[in-house]
Amino acid sequence: MKRTLMKGNEALAEAAIRAGCRAYFGYPITPQNEVPEYMARHMPGAGGVFVQAESEIAAINMVHGAAGAGVRAMATTSSPGFSLMTEGLSYMIGSRLPCVVVNVMRGGPGLGNIAPAQGDYFQVTRGLGHGDTHGIVLAPSTVQEIVDLMPVAFELAERYRLPTVIAADGILGQMMEPVALPEPIAPPPPPEWATTGAVGSPRVISSIYLAPEELEQHVLSLMRTYQEIREREQRWEAYRADDAEVLVVAYGTAARVVRSAVDRVRAQGVAAGLIRPITLWPFPTSAFEMSPRRWLVVELSAGQMVEDVRLAVSGRAPVGLYGRVGGVVPSPAEVSEAIRAAVAEEVAWA
């Protein structure tokens, strides 16, 4: 298959168009600016629309409108912008509207910096906005995987009528890798619930349920969807895990570093392996039925995913953390050292 050298941000934009996305709304924020730039150039030729919104708030609400009209719609942003989008995401969840939002995470809190980080883990997995909210969260670790997950993201969003978030980071957005692009698909026709003009009976898309009992029923229905997603959509990858004495858990860019570190320490006789969650929500709890002597979580945040790992491991083995923050990406040598320390029981255990 023909492979093209592409920057992560551009690859994800092209993958979205090929996956039938015909409405893209964005606002410039580093390190994802190549996405709106690519969409501005290529969306018109694909018969789609691009609007540079006046803010991330406006962008996600344009997605609301386009998604409600039955079109595959997407927004991309980076951490501070994602905070602004959570208002709109909560409304879209309340209204059961599908969409894809890509968060190319950077260092925080606040304006932080534009270096790669994973500090939005809580924000994307614990609730995508106010209220009882969840959306599927996919965490690619290569440019190819971003491309491969894009059609999956739209399909999942439409199957469950919820937003799907692709949690990437500054390295994945900025790095160039050879990718094989899929053949373009035609966008699906608008679903019957879309507001396309009241031919027949009018359709209403709303998140309002004023009566407490009605809202409770609505939220319980969302809960049933969330439960169905937990049971059916857990995705992860295991690497050299079968005989591992210490299993390292990492996603995205961190997982790439861990993979190299696992190979390093294996060469030195340490039986290490990697569990790489691909869905951050639902968290792939089924991957944690294995029984290593130690778990070690490596993340580009101050210890966020480690909480999900502790819940999944449920006290059956100690769980340690090696977290780097501020946009610092540890080297394979540093992570190797952390793995050796874990085996030597020199890291903080819970």
Give contact residues for other proteins (rule: CB under 8 A): 22-23, 25, 49, 51, 53-55, 57-59, 61-69, 71, 73, 87-88, 91, 95, 195-199, 202-208
By C-beta, is 63 or 172 nearer to other proteins? Answer: 63
* Three-state secondary-structure class, residue 42: helix
By C-beta, is 96 or 230 nearer to other proteins? Answer: 96
Structure tokens at 333: 């040598």
Q: What is the DSSP letter of 169?
A: E
Buried b (16+ CB within 10 A) or exposed e, 115-146: bbbbbbbebbbebbbeeebbbbbbbbbbbbbb
Please report how close the Cβ of residue 149 comes to other proteins at its closest, in angstroms: 24
Q: How far apart are CA 207 and CA 228, in angstroms?
A: 21
By C-beta, is 195 or 286 nearer to other proteins? Answer: 195
Please report how close the Cβ of residue 129 comes to other proteins at its closest, in angstroms: 10
- Hey, how many other C-beta atoms are within 10 angstroms of the C-beta on 245? 13
Query: Is the four-CA dihedral 221, 131, 230, 93 of positive or negative sign?
Result: positive
Q: How far apart are CA 60 and CA 25, in angstroms?
A: 7
Q: Which of 307, 313, 301 is CA-nearest to residue 253?
A: 301
By C-beta, is 65 or 332 nearer to other proteins? Answer: 65
Please report how close the Cβ of residue 164 comes to other proteins at its closest, in angstroms: 18
Q: How long, in residues, is the chain?
A: 350
Structure tokens at 257: 């570093």
By C-beta, is 70 or 173 nearer to other proteins? Answer: 70
Please report how close the Cβ of residue 26 comes to other proteins at its closest, in angstroms: 13
Please report how close the Cβ of residue 291 comes to other proteins at its closest, in angstroms: 47
Cβ atoms of 289 and 297 closer than 8 Å = no
Please report how close the Cβ of residue 202 comes to other proteins at its closest, in angstroms: 5
Please report how close the Cβ of residue 51 comes to other proteins at its closest, in angstroms: 6
By C-beta, is 65 or 303 nearer to other proteins? Answer: 65
Q: CA separation (Å) from 326 to 8, 16, 112, 322?
A: 21, 30, 7, 14
At CA 108, angle to CA 104 and CA 112, rounded to 5? 100
By C-beta, is 186 or 199 nearer to other proteins? Answer: 199
